[in-house]
Amino acid sequence: MRNVTVEITEAGPHETRREVTLPDGRRAFTGRPLRELLDEFGGPRGQLDTPAGKVDVDLTEWLGHDPDTTVLHIHVRFVDPSKIGTRPGSPRGRDSPE
Express each pLDDT in 63-88 by its tens digit: 999 998 888 988 888 776 666 665 55
Does the structure show a pLDDT above 50 at 93?
no
Q: Taking the domains of the chain in order of start, what are their residue ranges? A: 3-80
Q: Which of 28, 35, 98 is nearest to 71 (CA)?
A: 35
Per-residue pLDDT reduced to its tens digit, 24-68: 888 776 788 899 999 999 999 999 887 777 889 999 999 999 998
Residue, of 93 and 88, whose pLDDT is higher: 88
CA dihedral 78, 79, 82, 84 (to 10 degrees): 160
Strands of the chain (E only): list them: 3-10, 18-21, 27-30, 32-33, 45-50, 53-58, 71-79
